[in-house]
Structure 1
Amino acid sequence: MLVIVTRSSDADDALQEAWLRWERLPDGSVDDAGAFLRTVVTRICFDMMNSARARREIYAGPWLPEPLVTEGGPEDRATLDDTVSVAMLAVFQRLTPAERTAFILHDVFAAPFVEIAETVGRTPAGVRQLASRARRRIREEAPSRSTDRSEHQGAVEAFLAASTGGDFTRLLKILDPDVVWRSDGGGLVTAARVPVVGHEKTAHFVQQVMQWVDLSTARILRREVNGAPGLVLIDRTGLTIVLAFTVHDGFITEIDAVVNPEKLRHLHM
């Protein structure tokens, strides 16, 4: 569900509305409960996606999905799930609502094209084309990413040590030459309005961010961010920064920083 709408509050609202509609149905009026609920939830999410897309057209600065932050992953899990990473969810959001719905329902949940067609108001052949187009865009736009948990964790730890220690040279060594830093403040919190590109510019930017933070009183927490090792920084003023990382061949290639307080309300730190 969250892969489709990317906000936990929207996912909760969609499930609650679907349940209310289910409860209002007369007994025995639905032959296939699973198909019915899947269709209802999808239609609700489809409407949410269209509304969210309109809001993002006037969004201040880069838009990033609401982060999922948890205490930690299973100790015995050696690989990462790429489908819920912040970078991958951002790619999903660049698809049209119809493309995203067709791809996720068919490729992830194995729903038949006929069923999806009823939801998005297209023919089955049209839905097949939507899923194919979405698949192609995801292959082209999804960043290369290591699925090895220890490699990812090592890069995050190296970043943390270098950034908190003010070690510019060490920071450059862990950042890919073409690394991209994206900040989502939503116009509510000071953040870079355009992506910062390149390891030197990013390293300088990270140092500037750290200068704003009193490390003697701030809390820096190691957390799972969308299923991968990440960081949460909370300073004494209450400012919270959630950092998600994309790692490839041992280097950090993308850093996604969510500071928009409206996207962090669901967090309990």
Structure 2
Amino acid sequence: MTQPQQAGPDQLAFQQYRTLLFSVAYRILGTAADAEDVVQDAWLKWSAADRSHVADPKAYLTRIVSNLAMERLRSTRHQRETYVGPWLPEPILTGPDAADGVATTDSVSMALLVVLETLSPLERAVFVLKEVFAFSYAEIAEAVERSEAAVRQAAHRAREHVQARRPRFTADRARQRDVTERFFAATAGGDINTLMELLSPDVTLWTDGGGKVRQALKPVVGLETVARWFAALGTATYQGIEPGQMRAELTWINGGPGVVFHGPDRVVATLTFDFDPEGRISTIHNVANPDKLHAVADGTRHELS
């Protein structure tokens, strides 16, 4: 973000809430690049505003970011609906510290962000502000410029929708990390038997190439099919990269353990996982669209609130 070298009171106030603003924008939009743009636009609006009438900078900035994010989400809706293959959110590196807070981790998981894609822009903003950041209905009504009654209705619809599509289980972080590590080793070794132990019977693999790289255009479903897909990774050329040139690393993506695949000169894909009540992998999200890998490729670990 381009800002003056000398931090004045207005900049200090903005920086105090910058992590919050990015966290709100990213959850509403599902893309780090758009979230950064929204935060930058919020800075410009904040800089130009008459702040003598701003009693609560946090509420004021949240309102700006929420409305900018909803506006951008509406403008990209057609693009997402006509996307080639499944549209998945843009992954971000979060670091292991994000895993300390289960609520924070769950609210930025790829699985939840995928469900949030099915909400209207208003429902999504209301859900994020209420369920993730615990804003009151009155605060949200002011932020999204709707009546409190309309906000309550939107919150109810969004909550029911998310609960129906995103069952929540007690997160055993150590178990998830262990399963991811074993999956990583089994994939590298082509060990299909171990892969079948680690995957849920109805496991689903979603792949996002966006028409830029070759990926499955429909979800890959079923234990044996998905296991064979990953067992073959160590012997197959991927995006023109020979197996010997491919490097994979375990890291933290969207608050949970994930895998980043590197070619000689670029990041080529990420994997993130969702788990069933027994701790087996139930969903795998594979993002390979190069347009969605910039946030991972630049190595920035995002702080989230």
Same topology, TM > 0.5: yes
* 1:8 maps onto 2:32 in alignment: yes
TM-score normalised to structure 2 length: 0.81
Structure 2 letter corresponding to 1:22:
W
* 1:268 maps onto 2:293 in alignment: no
Q: Closer, same or farther in 2 for the Cα pair 1:79/1:117, shift >3 Å?
A: closer
Please identify, of 252-261 and 117-126, the stretch whose mean Cα deviation from structure 2 is larger: 117-126
Structure 2 letter corresponding to 1:212:
T
Structure 2 letter corresponding to 1:268:
D
Q: Distance in 2 between matches of 1:130 and 1:77?
A: 30
Work out whether residues 39 and 115 of structure 1, in 8 Å CA contact, stay in contact via their aligned partners in 2: no
**Greater helix share, structure number:** 2
* Identity across matched positions, percent: 37
Q: Distance in 1 between matches of 2:139 and 2:174?
A: 41
Q: Distance in 2 between matches of 1:54 and 1:87?
A: 22
* 1:232 maps onto 2:255 in alignment: no
Q: Distance in 1 between matches of 2:43 and 2:98?
A: 35
Please identify, of 37-46 and 121-130, the stretch whose mean Cα deviation from structure 2 is larger: 121-130
Work out whether residues 190 and 230 of structure 2, in 8 Å CA contact, stay in contact via their aligned partners in 1: no
Match of 2:274 among 246, 249, 265: 246
Q: Distance in 1 between matches of 2:229 and 2:223?
A: 10
Work out whether residues 78 and 149 of structure 1, in 8 Å CA contact, stay in contact via their aligned partners in 2: no
Gaps of 5+ in 1: none
Could you report, residue by residue, the CA deviation over 1:134-156 in whole angstroms, capped at 9, with x for unpaired residues? Answer: 11111110145551111001111
Gaps of 5+ in 2: 1-23, 300-305
Work out whether residues 79 and 148 of structure 1, in 8 Å CA contact, stay in contact via their aligned partners in 2: no
Q: Distance in 1 between matches of 2:140 and 2:50?
A: 24
Match of 2:150 among 126, 132, 145: 126
- Helix, strand or coil at the partner of 1:190: coil
Q: Closer, same or farther in 2 for the Cα pair 1:74/1:121, shift >3 Å?
A: closer
Could you report, residue by residue, the CA deviation over 1:61-81 in whole angstroms, capped at 9, with x for unpaired residues? Answer: 0111000124x4149949582
Q: Distance in 1 between matches of 2:167 and 2:153?
A: 23
TM-score normalised to structure 1 length: 0.91
Paired residue for 1:25?
49
* 1:205 maps onto 2:235 in alignment: no
Match of 2:172 among 131, 148, 164: 148
Work out whether residues 208 and 287 of structure 2, in 8 Å CA contact, stay in contact via their aligned partners in 1: yes
Q: Closer, same or farther in 2 for the Cα pair 1:201/1:237, shift >3 Å?
A: farther
Paired residue for 1:89?
113
Q: Closer, same or farther in 2 for the Cα pair 1:44/1:79, shift >3 Å?
A: closer
Work out whether residues 38 and 65 of structure 2, in 8 Å CA contact, stay in contact via their aligned partners in 1: yes
Q: Distance in 2 between matches of 1:196 and 1:76?
A: 28
Please identify, of 61-70 and 209-218, the stretch whose mean Cα deviation from structure 2 is larger: 209-218
Paired residue for 1:73?
96
Work out whether residues 190 and 232 of structure 2, in 8 Å CA contact, stay in contact via their aligned partners in 1: no
Paired residue for 2:13?
none
